[in-house]
Amino acid sequence: MKKYILFFLILSINFSFSQKSKQKEIDSLEIELSHAKEDTLKVKILDHLSALNFYLDSNLSFKHAKSALLLSQKLRYKKGTAYAYNNIGIYYLLKSDFPKALNYVFKALKIHEDRNNKYGIASSSNALGTIYVEFKNYKLALSCYNKALKTSKEIKDQESIATYLNNIGDVYLKMKKYPKALFYFNKALITNGIRKNSFESGLNYTNIGITNNYLKQYEKSIKATTKSILINKNDPSLFNGFNKIELGKSYYFLALEEQNKLKKEKLLQKSIDYINEAMLLFTKHKSLIDIRDAYLYLSKIKKAQGKHEDALYFFEKNTYLNDSIFSNKNKIQIALLESKREIELRDKKIEIQDLKIKNASRKVYLLITISIGILILLALFLWLYLSKRKTNQLLNDKNKIISTINSQKDKFFSIIAHDLRDPFNGFLGLSELLAEDLDNMTKEEIQFAAVSMKSSATNLFQLLENLLEWSRMEQGLIPFAPQEKLVVSIVAECMTTIQEAANNKNISINIEISEKTTVFADNNSIHSVIRNLVSNAVKFTPERGTISIKAKEDDKKTTISITDTGIGMSAKMVENLFRLDVETNRNGTNDEPSTGLGLILCKEFVEKHGGEIWVESEEEKGTTFNISFPNKKYSSI
């Protein structure tokens, strides 16, 4: 339902979801912008273009909103500033960066209230309601939506009234108050009565279908959802994906109630067909949350069909994606606990090894004592000499292992002590400030503190995840199964977690890789390597820099290179880059923290494949990281 609410945010800005008409309006506005001479008119056009591009090109939408904001602030044009803030807030809402979204929408609402712009008040209140839904604060969400509804009724804005009625229904749906939700969805549909075949009416039908599924009125759900599909049959967006998966669920629930085996199988097959159609749209739009939900229902359907292997396959797919999008807070807690456990296990292993060595020494001395009474003096000394040499060699070998483990453990503790202390101090300081002085703080101060705490938590999670992965690799606990994969697909998958950080610094990432280039590598390992290297490139590249990712394949190997226009490194730093016993970490261009542990992971992962990693860098001119993997027929794995 999250996606449905976001669609309606756009509706509150008053334009159609028809793809062709929207593109035609964008083209017309861009021509008008190029000829506009009055600055306030330029601001209005930029704000409108930003809103139109929310789902077509979010980065372009953000760019237009920022341009509108800068020009409005220069002109001291309050109305333009407010709408620019609102559009930037919606951009961050679509990116799931809710603290930033909250900050910008609050700014927009304050300006609208100061100017008594009721249309703006309604639009910003609606956006705030959507953000509070994401925080699961349904009481505040209802308050904001009702404020938007009341304001729209005052100015008799029928389209927006329908929007806000739908959003109130959605909150009740999330609160599992299904009859109340159905009441508001039907009310929204009636309000949209003059636009019977509009996108808005289609959305109302979709929501009615969802609610009827919860009420176990599956036939009614199918009827309503089918109407929505007919209304929006030419819509290439995610919306019809939601409709198709809802139909799939309806037929699945009907199948569970069906006693006739033949009819049941037909219903289950219908369910699979609709969910597969939905999956095509979800995959096209790279919507991981919706792909995850589709896998869950495919697993349930396969189980109902008695195809347990298929059911398990889809359930594992669902679990993998669910883990990937799990909340950062829980991940940090889990990573911290696992990291602590790994350290304790390593200490126990060292302790056990010490006991084994002591026991071995005692056995040797006992054997020597017994042998004195049995063997002649010469044989005894010879045996003693050979035994002692062997024992010493064993002790030396064990001592080297223990020394290495201790060194790694010391480095492990050093990283935790040094790199976790500052973020935790900042995090604790902010939380103490919120706890003791919350009543005296302004909304902006609270928002600043919340954003800072989120940043600290994100940095802590990244460090702990690298520490945990390094620890698991040291003990051989990470599964390793190389296979041939397309390089461009791997890089694209890695970009989903990195693109936002690059966008925040206005860094362009250029992927220059042939769609036919393959690499023979373990999936988890190569993802970790590329994520670490590209994240480092973003970290050490200043605002408006460029990162290029290239790959080439020959008869023997595949080489991937990641080049940035960042701050570069000295020859000495390059020489010590992959050493655990030398500290090479430094902060990024925006003071992002770094431990250097990610590069150690990269080196070990690459060398585990029999590959190579090397660096070419020059201070102030940028850096190129190269990694090569042997092709399948030349690999020794």
% of the chain beyond a pLDDT of 70: 81
pLDDT tens digits along 175-185: 999 999 999 99
The per-residue pLDDT for 309 is 92
Residue 365 token pair: 């001395």
Q: Mean pLDDT of all residues in the chain?
A: 81
Residue 184 token pair: 């508001």
* Helix or strand run (H / E) with residue 526: helix 523-539
pLDDT tens digits along 614-627: 999 999 989 999 99
pLDDT of 333 strictly over 60: no
The per-residue pLDDT for 9 is 40
Residue 192 token pair: 């949209």
**Least confident window among 88-102, 221-235, 331-345, 452-466:** 331-345
Phi and psi, residue 561, nearest 5°: -125, 140
Helix %, strand %, coil % for the chain, to 5?
Answer: 75, 5, 20
* pLDDT category of residue 165 using cuts at 50, 70 and 90: very high
The per-residue pLDDT for 624 is 95
Residue 248 token pair: 């799939």
pLDDT tens digits along 279-307: 888 888 777 778 888 899 899 999 988 99
The per-residue pLDDT for 339 is 33
pLDDT of 326 strictly over 90: no
* Helix or strand run (H / E) with residue 548: strand 546-553
The per-residue pLDDT for 183 is 94
CA dihedral 189, 190, 195, 198 (to 10 degrees): 10
All structural domains of the chain with their residue ranges:
2-232, 238-318, 328-473, 482-634
Check residues 254 and 343 and name the one with the higher pLDDT. 254
pLDDT tens digits along 57-99: 888 989 999 999 999 999 999 999 999 999 999 888 877 788 8
Closest C-alpha among 509, 496, 470, 495 to residue 605: 470
pLDDT of 5 strictly over 50: no
pLDDT tens digits along 417-455: 555 655 666 677 778 777 777 777 787 878 877 877 776
**3 state DSSP class of 518:** strand
* Architecture of the domain made up of 238-318: Alpha Horseshoe (1.25)
> Mean per-residue pLDDT for 592-598?
71
pLDDT tens digits along 535-564: 889 989 999 999 999 999 998 999 999 999
Other beta carbons less than 10 A from residue 426's beta carbon:
15
* pLDDT category of residue 117 using cuts at 50, 70 and 90: very high
| CATH H-level, domain 482-634: superfamily | Histidine kinase-like ATPase, C-terminal domain (3.30.565.10)
Closest C-alpha among 313, 308, 268 to residue 295: 313
Q: Which of 192-201, 372-381, 523-532, 571-580 has the highest mean pLDDT?
A: 523-532
pLDDT of 194 strictly over 80: no
| DSSP state letter for 136 | T
pLDDT of 580 strictly over 50: yes
> Mean per-residue pLDDT for 215-219?
92
The per-residue pLDDT for 236 is 67
* pLDDT category of residue 108 using cuts at 50, 70 and 90: very high
> Mean per-residue pLDDT for 188-209?
78
Instruction: Please state, in angstroms and as integers, the Cα–Cα distance from residue 225 to each residue in 3, 58, 213, 238, following that order.
Output: 16, 28, 10, 15
Closest C-alpha among 174, 175, 171, 225 to residue 202: 225
* pLDDT category of residue 415 using cuts at 50, 70 and 90: low
The domain 2-232 is classified under which CATH number: 3.10.20.30, 1.20.1250.20, 1.25.40.10, 3.30.43.10?
Answer: 1.25.40.10
Q: 622-630 and 557-564 as β-strands: parallel, antiparallel, unpaired?
A: antiparallel
pLDDT tens digits along 450-494: 877 776 676 667 667 766 766 676 666 667 789 999 999 999 988
Instruction: Please state, in angstroms and as integers, the Cα–Cα distance from residue 147 to each residue in 124, 142, 153, 192, 207, following that order.
Output: 10, 8, 10, 20, 22
pLDDT tens digits along 82-92: 999 999 998 88
Q: CA–CA separation, 453 vs 419, rounded Å? A: 16
* pLDDT category of residue 325 using cuts at 50, 70 and 90: low
DSSP letters, 277-320, are: HHHHHHHHTT-HHHHHHHHHHHHHHHHHTT-HHHHHHHHHHHHH
pLDDT tens digits along 364-409: 677 777 877 787 888 887 887 888 888 888 888 877 777 766 666 6
**3 state DSSP class of 512:** strand
Q: Is 482-634 in the same CATH topology as 2-232?
A: no
Instruction: Please state, in angstroms and as integers, the Cα–Cα distance from residue 415 to each residue in 323, 418, 464, 467, 473, following that order.
Output: 26, 5, 10, 9, 17
Q: CA–CA separation, 48 vs 62, rounded Å? A: 12
